[in-house]
Amino acid sequence: MLTTDQQLLTVRAFAKALNVTTACIRRWILERKIATVKLGRLVRIPSDEVQRLIQSGLRPTQEQMRSTDSESEVSNGQE
């Protein structure tokens, strides 16, 4: 949910924050991959969408995968 103190970014500013083209951002908007706010004809993107996109695309390192696997083995009693 959008709060009143949340910053809204233009398509250009959002693209710059992710180092991608504005065409890429507009495609993601059409594909509904990112949340937007429409104010009349203006399109704005909540600033927390940057962090959400980064987290959704984050791939863990092999070390993180190993620690997750060992934690699940302990919780399953397979130590």
φ, ψ of residue 7 in degrees (nearest 5): -85, 140
pTM strictly above 0.85: no
d(CA 49, CA 34): 7
Domain with residue 59: its CATH number is 1.10.1660
Full domain range(s) for residue 14? 8-70
Q: Is residue 48 part of a domain?
A: yes
Q: Is residue 54 part of a domain?
A: yes
Structure confidence by residue, pLDDT tens digits, 22-78:
999 999 999 999 999 999 999 999 999 999 998 888 787 888 677 766 666 656 665
Q: Is residue 46 part of a domain?
A: yes
In angstroms, the Cα distances linking 8 to 21, 35, 55 are 18, 11, 19
